[in-house]
Structure 1
Amino acid sequence: MRVAVYIPLLLSLLAPLGARPLSERCEPRLATWLLTASALVLGAATTISLALLAVTGLIRFPQLAGIGHWSAHTAQRDDPAELSVALFAGLLLGAAVLMAARMLWQRVRTLASAALEAACMPTKDGLVVIEDEAPDAFAIPGLPGRVVVSTGMLRTLDETERHILLAHERAHLAAHHYAFVALTQLGAAANPLLRPLATAVTYTIERWADENAATATGDRERVARTVGKAALAAHHGPGRAPGASLAILGRRTPLTVAGPVPRRVAALLAPPFGRRPVLAAATATLLVTAALSTADAAQDLHVLLEAVGAR
């Protein structure tokens, strides 16, 4: 295998360096899409690269090469990849597949449970108010989803701030933010190097919802105050049993861990971010490079298999 098979692995080392700038300098909806696409494409590309390297190792063993009528001796002579590299890639591939399958199964179960819980909640206009002194608010994905707010949170906020809170949580449901989180976590499960991208998406979806609330109310400063006030109330509220319900990320999540609150407040107090075409173009270039490199590596393997099968 030539150098192309290693390029997606190299890009996976570089991509996390751009996660923070992309999440903080780009319009949050676009940043979320770019980060999610990056996690999926790089996760898939690195998994395919590992599979290609693993195959070059397998065909060097006569017992396995005989299955495809390949020449193990020719493979050992013509393939430039070291056998140790191919075997190590095979181990990493097995771990990646297992982790991705485990994460996918857990996410499907979580979303199914969330949808069932949402369907069982009596509601008016998708809003569920629970008797709880702890200030809290979260969204439960479903068909349709639910916005759950505690009486403690309602008493903490005034009427305008309640509208802002509801606009924020409804934005999570309307834009299917749980899907972006699940997809980036899937990519990170296949390639742990991409975890910073998944972390960045949990921040950008909150920023996306903040901006929707600001657009709905027309008052960015008031939204910023509400975000800070709600987070502070949730931080100082009484504790509760973990796992009592499911939030947008698949578990009950206080607003204090939904995203770095000071950064969100600062972003709301500043002018809205633009789309940053340079960052978008750089991300697109990285993804195209990963895809083309993977395709080139697959072609290299095809040529190798033809060569070892012709003798």
Structure 2
Amino acid sequence: MKIDLPRLGFGLSSIAGSGNFSHQEKLIRTAIDSGITHFDVAPYYGSGDAERILGDILVNCKEQVSITTKFGLTPLSGGVGGSMLRSLLRPVFRRMSALKKIASSVVSKTHQPKPLEYKAGDLTNSMDASIKKLRRPVDIFLLHDLEIDLARNTDLLEELQTIRTDSKTRLTGISGESETLLQMVKWRPEVYEVAQLENSLKSPAPVEILEAAGADVITHRAIQGGLEELIFLLKNRPTFKTVWEREIDIDPSGKEDIAHALIELALYENPGGTILFSSTNPERIKKVANVLHTPKLGVVGCNKLRSLFSEVYAPQERIA
């Protein structure tokens, strides 16, 4: 890539709800100590808190790190008032288990994104707010799941180019669905230099096509987009389990081992890019980082896993 990113990056979509600041700092520190020095954040994450949390943690960080942030999605509950309310209620929800479902429902609703009504200057203002929270310029600045028509907006494109000229970011790009990304990268590769999208068992990404069009590719949801389905198939489809045991050298009863395999597959399918993952468990961060040093599938195993899932997975049979 034009920026020397590690093969694994840490996503902060869940950082605000992961515990107190000490625990959040431990997560980031564990990632860095494990060789993961790229962090993916957005104004939408943590209902507006994630950027500030990362900035507060990295302010005393001596290691060289890189950051992706975004423009587009913002939570309905964002802002100072929403942040204060969440801070006050979070300890209550932790202590009273009966309120957890209620809390989850409330958070889910308030965390829905605001409809974006873009006007000239909004992108620059968003970038400046992110830099203030992060306490540093960013390395990659992405449009966050924008519709194609908006991603083609002349004023928005001009702002993207200006913030790079002003050294507020080193690279610009877009995140979202593969079809949108392919169109944007092919249309303006000098602006949409980075494409960030899901690559999982359920939603394979056109990594090679995006790279051929000139984009640096960052993928995510390797575990979330396959682990639950694999566990379901292994428990409920005897034929699938039989083929798995014959073809895939991974314990079908080991959830951590299966997650390991999914990260390895994502690394194999995006050999020149970065794979994002997230976790609120420091030990799990270490285990994911260790995939780089202890591959279990190899090239043949990765191809077999992709092929096996593609051949037998039937979404209509999925039990809700």
Q: TM-score, normalised by structure 1?
A: 0.23
* Rg larger for: 1
Higher strand share: 2
- TM-score, normalised to structure 2, is 0.23
Higher RCO (CA-CA < 8 Å; seq separation 6+): 1
